[in-house]
Amino acid sequence: MPDYGSPGFQSRKSKLDIIVIASYVFDWLILVVVGVVGVILGNVSPNKRPFSLQDPNISFPFTEHETVNSRLLLICNAVIPIAVVLIVVFIFVPGPTVPAGTPKSLIWKRKLWELHTGWLGLALSLISAWIITQGMKNLFGKPRPDLLSRCQPDFANVMQYVVGFHTPADDGSLDGPYNGQLVRADICKNPDKALLDDGFRSYPSGHASSAAAGLIYLSFFLASKFAITLPFAPQDSSSADTGVVTAFPSRLRNVNTSYEAVRDNLDVDRPVSPVDPATARQIGPQNAAVTSIRRQAAAPPLYLLLLTVLPFFTAIFIASSRWFDFRHHGFDILFGFIIGTITAWFAFRYYHLPIRSGAGWAWGPRSHDKAFWAGLGSWSYATNKKHWERSGGEAERVEGQRADDIEMGVRYRTKADSPSRAGSSTTAPGMGDNQI
């Protein structure tokens, strides 16, 4: 067991912080590189699927002024979520569960970590949706609903561009008149190459995927921080014991924070029956159990629910605008929205605990030993290879507490916890050895 108070460990801790920070800087660098690749893909000419000059689905007019242009989209799906995450973290984190006497440095570290993970998850969601959408647009080359308005077709030589089936002529040849056959994209003579190339990027919708990636991620983030979820009764020990989801659980001193312990101090309603005492004795235990369960959860206030779903409905509006602006077909919008929703959910869960049982917290940082690589035989990037300890626990732990081995199920004991000193332990009566 390392001596956390020794000068040697303190110097190692500084080195540890630098390595962990460098690993997250590398994460940001990867996201920037992927984002640049997405920009490059946006300037590459896409595949151009053949189309018919008589197809009404691509005959809509070109909308000069979009309802949500690219600049407004960037503000909605990136700038606003960045600002909201910043405001929420600095006002509400770490919340009212901070134990008395917690150093301000720990509180600010928690704020900065929650801010970092909030922004990193947002970036992962947006850039993932961006690169997937840009790549699919170029691969499929699907015409937009307003393609013919951009095309400026060469009608005089239309038969030279026909692909596939040709209309038979009266003499039996295949030189009949044009009758809606598919034509190649080079029939379009619009000199504006960028505008013409963009006319073949209908599937999937970039506005829909980006709006969902940024704004639905924001809805997940707000739901997590404001505890907006369907009411439920905790079933597992991690949910029933509120101590494990407080701001700094390792600083709690012999406090039983389970629901039952808290409930015992409340004035729980006793079952009152208007029937005879025998019936009351029969149904009393069941009523007490129901009362106990129903008092474990309650519906959050509706104004918080409204704040949480507002980004989601904004994403729906942005996606819908692509329909009435004649920029995308319905399936293009739907599939783009699905892409953004999946990346938003994945990015949120990649860096945050589940909304229902995580109490609004992000996962902790990687450990020093596993900042860049974990290898086989390890299920967690939060533990050290040598001691299997929670990274950062030494900073939050109250003096005299033992470290947990969360991978091997073994507790490493300090000298103060040796069996020879068990009789002088300060553990409160009734507290087992497995409680901190």
> Pairing mode, if any, of strands 403-404 and 182-183?
unpaired
CB proximity list for 423: less than 8 A, separation 6 or greater: none
pLDDT tens sequence for the chain (436 residues): 444 444 444 444 544 488 889 999 999 999 999 999 999 998 899 999 999 999 999 999 999 999 999 999 999 999 999 999 999 999 998 888 788 888 888 888 899 999 999 999 999 999 999 999 999 999 999 999 999 999 999 988 888 898 877 766 655 556 667 778 899 999 999 999 999 999 999 999 999 999 999 999 999 999 999 989 888 776 655 555 566 666 676 666 555 554 445 445 544 444 444 455 665 555 556 555 555 677 778 888 999 999 999 999 999 999 999 999 999 999 999 999 999 999 999 999 999 999 888 788 998 888 888 888 887 777 788 887 765 445 455 555 555 555 554 444 444 444 444 444 444 433 333 333 333 3
Give residue for tokens 């959910």. 345
List C-alpha distances in Å: 191 to 8, 59, 143: 69, 19, 18
Outline where 43-103 has alpha helix (H).
70-74, 80-92
To 10 degrees, the CA torsion angle through 240, 243, 245, 248?
-170
CA distance 418 to 423: 10
Cβ pair 403, 411 in contact under 8 A: yes
What is the predicted pLDDT for the residue at 38? 93
In the three-class reduction of DSSP (H, G, I as helix; E, B as strand; rest coil), residue 258 is classed as: strand
User: First-to-last CA distance in the chain?
Assistant: 17
Could you tell me if 141 and 46 are in contact, meaning their C-beta atoms sit under 8 angstroms apart? yes
C-alpha triplet 320, 199, 69: angle, nearest 5°: 45
Which residue type is seen at 36? V
DSSP for 143-177, written as a single string: PPTTHHHHH-B-GGGGGGGB-S--PPPTTSSS-PP
Contacts of 62 (CB under 8 A, 6+ apart): 146, 149, 150, 326
User: Rg of the chain's alpha carbons, rounded to an integer?
Assistant: 30
What are the angstrom distances between the C-alpha of 394 and each of 205, 397, 403?
A: 48, 5, 8
Other beta carbons less than 10 A from residue 119's beta carbon: 17
Q: Checking DSSP bridges between strand 411-412 and strand 403-404, what pairing results, if any?
A: antiparallel
pTM above 0.85, yes or no: no
